[in-house]
């Protein structure tokens, strides 16, 4: 698919970046998670952040949402630094974004309908009739209008993720963050969800950042892909580019990751003492 043709609106809107990472570092106590992350995401772009499990992909989304703060460098969202915003400014920023959690994080005591209606009820004064129409449209977009009245415990994990996607986009956000949107989906739902992410982004003129390790689907919908590689001093981006550029990359980590190869800079086995020491 030609990515340049579907970015007409994005090119117009891309006067300033939606996100700007400027040498961002982050860690928990003495344990570094990231080192020197630098990246710019333009308005209208779909950026995929890829990397192995546990490398810190989800933490990047939490940094963007202001749920945690960088310990080094600067992170600008909508042109303003996240770490210098007070609570009111942070909430105001979050009202402009939607975050899809890895396991949906649906409210278990609310029905699917009420989950999607929740941000509308909290942040708008829309009438119940209008909220109903919007919620049903959002659920229709993810193919789940038929489960509107069910509780989250009555639907599958994949369906819960799609309901959460409807909730994340309920307010037509300018920036949508997806945490592993393809994990646990069947092939049909996976393809539909991938196309939906692209379609939503283009229809709303928003910007999307998804963290995933699903190479095939991601390469079909992403404008650019950033590959995050682990390191003892903190993970960092080893390659950022279009899917075509990454396929042609000569970086050993990128090549190992895309090929799913056991041999390469990343070992399948965690660091451990020699096997015979444990079994002698």
Partner 1 sequence: MSNRSGLLDRVAAIGAGVLAALDHLGGLARLGWRLLLGAPAALRRPKLVLDQIHYLGNHSLVIILVSGLFVGLVLGLQGYYTLRRYGSEEALGLLVTLALVRELGPVVSALLFAGRAGTALTAEIGLMKAGEQLSALEAMAVDPVERILAPRFFAGVVAMPLLAGLFSAVGVIGGWLVAVVVIGVDPASFWSQMTQGVDFWNDTLNGVVKSVVFGVSVTLIALYSGFTCRPTPAGVSQATTAAVVVGSLTVLGLDFMLTALMFGAL
Q: What are phi and psi of 184, to 5 degrees?
A: 75, 10
Considering only residues 75, 99, 134, 166, which one is a binding residue for partner 1 as defined by CB under 8 A? Answer: 99
Pair 217, 178: CB distance under 8 Å: no
Closer by beta carbon to partner 1, 101 or else 184: 101
Does residue 172 interact with partner 1 by CB under 8 A? no
* Tokens, residue 206: 């928003």
CA distance 142 to 195: 11
Does residue 89 interact with partner 1 by CB under 8 A? no
Fill in the per-residue mask, 122 to 151: x = in contact with partner 1 (CB under 8 A), - = not in contact: xx----------------------------
CA-based nearest residue to 121, from 110, 160, 197, 62: 110
Closer by beta carbon to partner 1, 113 or else 219: 113
Q: How far is the CB of 106 from partner 1 (least distance, A)?
A: 8
Residues in contact with partner 1, total (CB under 8 A)? 19
Pair 93, 85: CB distance under 8 Å: yes
Closer by beta carbon to partner 1, 179 or else 217: 179
Pair 238, 251: CB distance under 8 Å: yes
The C-alpha angle 15, 19, 22, rounded to 5 degrees, equals 110
Q: How far is the CB of 243 from partner 1 (least distance, A)?
A: 28
CA distance 108 to 95: 22
Does residue 28 interact with partner 1 by CB under 8 A? no
β strands within the chain, DSSP E: 17-28, 31-42, 46-50, 72-77, 80-81, 97-100, 175-179, 207-212, 224-229, 236-241
Does residue 65 interact with partner 1 by CB under 8 A? yes
Does residue 211 interact with partner 1 by CB under 8 A? no
CA distance 136 to 129: 11
Query: What does R_g of the chain's alpha carbons equal in angstroms?
Result: 20
Considering only residues 6, 85, 94, 247, which one is a binding residue for partner 1 as defined by CB under 8 A? Answer: 94
Q: How far is the CB of 236 from partner 1 (least distance, A)?
A: 25
Does residue 76 interact with partner 1 by CB under 8 A? no
Q: How far is the CB of 231 from partner 1 (least distance, A)?
A: 27
Closer by beta carbon to partner 1, 108 or else 233: 108
Closer by beta carbon to partner 1, 181 or else 243: 181
**3-state SS, residue 24:** strand
Considering only residues 118, 191, 264, 266, which one is a binding residue for partner 1 as defined by CB under 8 A? Answer: 118
Closer by beta carbon to partner 1, 123 or else 199: 123
Closer by beta carbon to partner 1, 176 or else 238: 176
Pair 49, 226: CB distance under 8 Å: yes
Q: Residue 75: beta bridge partners? A: 21
| Chain residues in the site for partner 1 (CB under 8 A) | 65, 67, 91-95, 97, 99, 101, 103, 105-108, 118-119, 122-123
């Amino acid at each position: 698919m030609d990515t340049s043709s579907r970015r007409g609106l994005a090119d117009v809107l891309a006067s300033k970046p939606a996100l700007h990472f400027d040498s961002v570092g982050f860690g928990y106590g003495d344990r570094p998670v990231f080192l020197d992350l630098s990246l710019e995401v333009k308005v209208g772009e779909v950026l995929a952040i890829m990397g192995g499990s546990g490398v810190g992909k989800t933490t990047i989304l939490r940094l963007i949402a202001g749920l945690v703060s960088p310990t080094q460098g600067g992170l600008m969202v909508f042109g303003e630094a996240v770490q210098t915003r007070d609570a009111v400014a942070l909430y105001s920023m979050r009202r402009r974004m939607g975050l899809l959690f890895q396991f949906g994080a649906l409210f278990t005591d609310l029905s699917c309908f009420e989950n999607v209606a929740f941000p509308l009820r909290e942040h708008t004064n829309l009438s119940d009739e209008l909220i109903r129409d919007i919620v049903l449209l959002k659920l229709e977009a993810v193919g789940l209008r038929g489960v509107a009245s069910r509780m989250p415990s009555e639907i599958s994990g994949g369906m819960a993720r799609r309901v959460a996607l409807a909730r994340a986009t309920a307010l037509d956000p300018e920036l949508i963050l997806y945490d592993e949107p393809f994990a646990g989906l069947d092939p049909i739902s996976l393809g539909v969800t991938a196309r939906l992410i692209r379609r939503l982004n283009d229809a709303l003129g928003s910007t999307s950042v998804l963290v995933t390790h699903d190479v095939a689907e991601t390469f079909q919908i992403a404008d650019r892909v950033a590959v995050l590689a682990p390191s003892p001093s903190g993970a960092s981006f080893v390659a950022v580019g279009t899917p075509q550029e990454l396929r042609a990359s000569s970086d050993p980590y990128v090549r190992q990751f895309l090929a799913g190869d056991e041999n390469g800079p990343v070992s399948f086995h965690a660091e451990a003492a020699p096997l015979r020491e444990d079994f002698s």
